[in-house]
Amino acid sequence: MKEIENINILAIESSCDETAAAVVHNGREVYSNIISSQIELHKLYGGVVPEIASRKHIEKINQVIEEALKEAGMSLDHIDAVAVTYGPGLVGALLVGVAEAKAIAYAKNLPLIGVHHIEGHISANYIEHPDLEPPFLCLVVSGGHTHLVRVADYGKYEILGRTRDDAAGEAYDKVARAIGLGYPGGPKIDRLAKEGNPEAISFPKAHIEDSPYDFSFSGLKSAVLNYINGCQMKGESFDPADVAASFQKAVVDVLVENSMRAVGAHDATKFALAGGVASNSALREGMRAACEARGIELYYPSPILCTDNAAMIGAAGYYEYISGTRHGWDLNAVPNLKLGDR
């Protein structure tokens, strides 16, 4: 794809519980990346409360954009296009970002580019890896998604597999709650698992017949909850670190096995991780070892670019921009937007 030089994109992300804005130059250089997280607020409820998320976005969005421009040393006059996540996500949360992006684009007569949230997560890899270009395979693992994707070209995706039920991050969050670790559970399980024995408890690893790249985590989650209940009913104590380590091993083993099956079938030479769970130390280590054994180059973003942020929307937005994607003033939030839909 022919690059267009000197394009500054103002990117906005508000699909879940982070209000975020960024200025990204030519898709790969981040001038600013401001994230206002609502985690402390939602912690009180053990998970994201959609209405609270929307209200907080509307309160924060202008400040976050102002800060992103200020940190980039720019005004809206330096911006060439506005990119915004328009799905998937919480509808009320998405609407705040979409309405804001439309208002700015309309007022400044700028092109408007709606971006798929998963395309954003995948594109986070472009920011710190100047050598990474499609085609490559990508495992997107977050609180809402678990997708194994073939990135055929910029903006061109083939979904090889997906979860049939819970997302990987969702399983982490639910198991963390059962152990009493609180929300968000992923990083806490990651930390606790380091003190436990991953072989202590044998939890099931679901493989879906006839769908070698699909995932299922609800059976695993139930097995962990049953194990904890069983111990409690027998009046026995259990070691939370062993539960965390054994659960994590079951998740990581399946993620790595399916990913490597796809690598073999597609003769891939490059593999990327994306999404909040891509920060997980056991997943990174498991993928590093598996990729090294096969001579495959492994990529993953820094933790700050793994969780929801707007820089990744600016990176994806740039490639959409140069391929000619433009959205009209009728752009709306699409809570169940499919990857590849326009």
Residue whose CB is less far from ligand KG4, 17 or 105 = 17
Residue whose CB is less far from ligand KG4, 119 or 308 = 308
Question: Do the Cβ atoms of 15 and 88 come closer than 8 Å?
Answer: yes
Calpha distance 36→25 (Å, rounded) = 21
13 binds Zn ion (CB under 5 A): no
* Residue 33 DSSP SS3: strand
Binding residues for Zn ion restricted to 304-323, rule: CB under 5 A: 308
Shortest distance, CB of residue 189 to ligand KG4, whole angstroms?
6
Residue keyed to tokens 């055929």: 152
Distance of CA 304 to the CA centre of its chain: 11
Shortest distance, CB of residue 210 to Zn ion, whole angstroms?
29
Calpha distance 10→117 (Å, rounded) = 16
142 binds Zn ion (CB under 5 A): yes
Point out which span in 17-25, 264-272, 300-308, 329-337 binds Zn ion (CB under 5 A). 300-308
Shortest distance, CB of residue 173 to ligand KG4, whole angstroms?
5
Output b/e per residue, 207-226; b: 16+ Cβ within 10 A: eeeeeebbbbbebbbebbee
* Residue 286 binds: one of Zn ion, ligand KG4, none (C-beta under 5 to 8 A by kind): none
* Residue 185 binds: one of ligand KG4, Zn ion, none (C-beta under 5 to 8 A by kind): ligand KG4
Residue whose CB is less far from ligand KG4, 25 or 188 = 188
For residue 265, CA distances in Å to 10, 27, 159, 212, 289 come to 38, 30, 14, 11, 19
Residue whose CB is less far from Zn ion, 142 or 279 = 142
Question: Do the Cβ atoms of 17 and 37 come closer than 8 Å?
Answer: yes
Residue whose CB is less far from ligand KG4, 169 or 317 = 169
Shortest distance, CB of residue 229 to ligand KG4, whole angstroms?
22
Where do contacts with ligand KG4 occur on this chain (CB under 6 A)? 16, 142-144, 169, 172-173, 184-187, 190, 275-277, 279-280, 307-308
Question: Do the Cβ atoms of 305 and 20 come closer than 8 Å?
Answer: no
Helix (H) / strand (E) containing 21: strand 18-25
* Residue 196 binds: one of ligand KG4, Zn ion, none (C-beta under 5 to 8 A by kind): none
Point out which span in 79-87, 102-110, 142-150, 294-302 binds Zn ion (CB under 5 A). 142-150
* Number of residues binding to Zn ion, judged by CB under 5 A: 2
Other beta carbons within 10 angstroms of residue 74's beta carbon come to 17
| Residue numbers at the binding site for Zn ion (CB under 5 A) | 142, 308
